[in-house]
Amino acid sequence: MNKITIAIDGYSSTGKSTVAKQIAKYLGYVYVDSGAMYRAITYFAMQKGFINNDDFNKEALIYNLPKVKVSFKFNEDLGFAEVYLNDVNIENDIRTLAVSNFVSKVAAVSEVREQLVKQQQQMGENKGVVMDGRDIGTVVFPRAELKLFMTASAEKRALRRYDELIERGDAVSYDDVLKNVQERDYIDSNRKDSPLIKAKDAIEIDNSNLSLDEQFNKILQLAKMTI
Ligand code: C5P
């Protein structure tokens, strides 16, 4: 069967990765969580002390970028690929609010984007890939056969992310999560390099009132019509 590229962009915590994983599994495609790659570099910068409270030593991060290797390894038990930083599994370390609070600032650095976009394009060069992020349909794969743009109200999104963090055992407040979601949306949409915008040919899906099943079926139908 003809393989296509599926690009899923949208605001923070719109459930892009949940549906991207489901679709990739159904179609036998590779799923790539591009946000995890920006989170991995943020985690690296935090570990190295390039990020301290509100200080961000951008130059030190840029200088050290060639030493950062971000990769994925499929975990059979989990059914998806986990992210590795210089061959160490950091899947659980990158989903914290501390990383979320800084990731958009790191993702606004052009040198970081250049390195990751190149890697993402290589990962998708043989098609048969579902990638989610902020610039997948606009910059990474502008020729993707199917582009989706996911939206939902900020309150709904914050509640979903809050539930996820509480489930993991993280002590966070709903207000802090909402603030983070709103701040990331603002920075991601207003940065100079590759801002989050809907590609002209992307199909917008507001999932505020869709169940996971409804969302999956809707997107699967679109994928089948495109393949
Ligand atoms: O998808 P997730 O919320 O994990 O992404 C974390 C952050 O990484 C986003 O808020 C955004 O700043 C950045 N990002 C990006 N471009 C992508 C994917 C994520 O700038 N393609």
pLDDT at 120: 98
> What pLDDT digit, counting tens, does each position of 156-212 carry?
999 999 999 999 999 999 999 999 999 999 999 999 999 999 999 999 999 999 999
Pick the CATH number of 5-220 from 1.10.3470.10, 3.40.50.150, 3.50.50.60, 3.40.50.300: 3.40.50.300
> What pLDDT digit, counting tens, does each position of 133-144 carry?
999 999 999 999
Please say if the pLDDT value at position 111 is more than 80.
yes
pLDDT at 1: 74
Mutate which of 12, 83, 134 to test ligand 1's pocket (most atoms within 8 Å of Cβ)? Answer: 134
- The reply to whether ligand 1 has any atom less than 6 angstroms from the CB of 39 is yes
pLDDT at 53: 85
Q: Is 14 annotated as contributing to ligand binding?
A: yes
The DSSP-derived string for 70-133 is: EEEEEETTTTEEEEEETTEE-TTTTTSHHHHHHHHHHHT-HHHHHHHHHHHHHHTTTS-EEEEE
- As a whole-number percent, the residues of the chain with pLDDT over 70 amount to 100
CB 157 within 8 A of CB 150: no
pLDDT at 43: 98
Mutate which of 6, 38, 42 to test ligand 1's pocket (most atoms within 8 Å of Cβ)? Answer: 38
CB 149 within 8 A of CB 203: yes
> What pLDDT digit, counting tens, does each position of 22-70 carry?
999 999 999 999 999 999 999 999 999 999 988 999 999 999 999 999 9
- The reply to whether ligand 1 has any atom less than 6 angstroms from the CB of 103 is yes
CB 7 within 8 A of CB 148: yes
Kindly report the protein residue whose alpha carbon is nearest to atom 11 of ligand 1. Answer: 104
Residue ranges covered by each domain of the chain? 5-220
